[in-house]
Chain A
């Protein structure tokens, strides 16, 4: 029995890898059509990213937000929601973090300051996710649509702040915030890599445990499988969904805090734009499995880091990686997750 199960997971894993390879082949054909040599392009991508420490550092650094955003998204999916709100929640998380860092906690010691900032960032994301959650449970507004619209709104909120109260007086009128103080940057592990990756992996473990091994996780599974059955079982469906939206937002907000305190140091109008959408892609590419989404997040990070190489060496714009990622996800959707009956 268990051996059969193992075989099945193995088959699933193999077909999943197969889908990713197929997507790379499709994209290769696309590159050929553009007059680029796909083999050379892929070679450049690998060499620039995986054969030197700078490349690997970049890869890890960029994986962190994608891991967190993917895991955040998967919580909502596991409660039966298609939530793309991590984009906006990340923005608001960054906004809250930078605001607190520059106006409230400027002189706090590192550890206390970072903990408080993490809480503030999570609060920001949770609030923004909570609004979409309220729309869903109080007015039955479809969360996919509201979160996309709210993502657009979040850009304008960030712009409003960056052009307004956040703007760096010494920034030569550039639309960007003041740099956070050095004491509030995340400690480094090695090179440019900070402890964000450890936090991200911890969150993955927690979310996995939560989804699979707790009563609330069980309830979420019921809500996802059949909301009607959940109601009949006395499960408060709205509460579970609202909770999922808030939890997703909180983790997205944490990702925002890590980006501000670990990588960016200041907020611009374009900081981390589209990260949320990429995180969403990562989650769905991983069938919303938190552990597998680490792998997909790394793949996306790889593509987006090496995408720059494509741009320099093969004269292909950044949008080509977006195309590639969409194709990967389409291939995985095409495959589906195997037949449900066992």
Chain B
């Protein structure tokens, strides 16, 4: 039983981490007043870029860097279209999602059967020996650990630095930012590209750390799910883990139940994370006092 719980937690964290990066990235972006549904595209580009580089060069560090560049480049297009060309943010994001999926499928077709070594698990001494949770939390790959570290780092960036203050201000009222001689548009560029890069790490985690395979469309809506879970996290990186691990938990349940041979349709189980996402979105939408950035309210709802 204990091992089952450990197993469940390990799985939940592994599959939740990619979504966690997506939430981090999108939180930064949305805080500046831009919604990027292209997060899905950035993630899948991150996944394929990392996979290709990992397979061809064997360097995991290079793989992650390339993933970030690819994801950031896609987000850059979004920033340009929304900021300079005043395109509809939702439609632009969706289009970039299609573009990302298309490009990834295109370059990925020769890598479907290529195998890689990927990122190895690193057990942290002592901590990984804690019963039940030690194995789950402290015997993971480096990207998982990075996702733990990013939580306070991003929170600190957004709430305790001047740049973060202005970035949030750009999402609240861009006129105010102008009044202080800063350019809200360049802050939005920064936030969107940074968001795309962080999301892309999530894609890399998926392909070179978690599954260590490449398959077409392997992000399976994780980017979109991340965007919905940003609302649940109240646009705050410090609360991002809740949503990510609820999603991961639903995926893990699927794996565990199937491995235990429980008589239930696999499709129902596969549906579960998406249904849970809808429920989470529902709960966070009807909840009073969402602290959505002011400039976003017109774009997302109302």
Residues of chain A touching chain B, judged by Cβ–Cβ distance below 8 Å, are: 82, 84, 135, 139-142, 144-146, 148-150, 152-153, 156-157, 159-160, 163-164, 227, 277, 280-281, 284, 317, 319-320, 322-323, 325-327, 329-330, 333-334, 336
Flag whether B96 is at the interface (Cβ < 8 A): yes
Q: A146-B281, A336-B86 are in contact. Are A322 and B91 (CB under 8 A)?
A: no
Q: A152-B220, A159-B267, A323-B102 are in contact. Are A142 and B87 (CB under 8 A)?
A: no
Flag whether B122 is at the interface (Cβ < 8 A): no
Return the contact of A149 from the options B87, B109, B228, B268 (Cβ within 8 A). Answer: B228
Q: A84-B94, A281-B98 are in contact. Are A153 and B77 (CB under 8 A)?
A: no
Main secondary structure of the interface of A (DSSP, over half): helix
Q: Check if B95 sits within 8 Å of A333, measured CB to CB.
A: yes
The A/B interface has a contact count, at CB < 8 Å, of: 123
Contact with A along B166-194 (1 / 0, CB 8 A): 00000000000000000000000000000
Q: Check if A150 sits within 8 Å of B278, measured CB to CB.
A: yes
Residues of chain B touching chain A, judged by Cβ–Cβ distance below 8 Å, are: 37, 77, 81, 85-88, 90-92, 94-96, 98-99, 101-103, 105-106, 109, 216, 220-221, 224-225, 227-228, 265, 267-268, 270-271, 274-275, 277-278, 281-282, 285-286, 300-302
- In this complex, what residue of A is CB-closest to B103? A323
Q: Check if A319 sits within 8 Å of B105, measured CB to CB.
A: yes
B285 neighbours in A (Cβ, 8 Å): 139-141
Q: A152-B274, A156-B271, A317-B109 are in contact. Are A326 and B221 (CB under 8 A)?
A: no
Q: Check if A326 sits within 8 Å of B278, measured CB to CB.
A: no
C-alpha spacing A141/B231, complex, angstroms: 10
Q: A84-B94, A144-B90, A157-B271 are in contact. Are A334 and B81 (CB under 8 A)?
A: yes
Q: Check if A327 sits within 8 Å of B99, measured CB to CB.
A: yes
Q: Check if B271 sits within 8 Å of A148, measured CB to CB.
A: no
A153 neighbours in B (Cβ, 8 Å): 271, 274-275, 278
Q: Check if B102 sits within 8 Å of A149, measured CB to CB.
A: no
**Pairs A–B under 8 Å by Cβ, sample size 17:** A135-B278, A140-B285, A140-B286, A141-B281, A141-B285, A145-B37, A146-B281, A148-B224, A149-B221, A149-B277, A152-B221, A156-B267, A159-B267, A160-B271, A281-B98, A322-B101, A333-B87
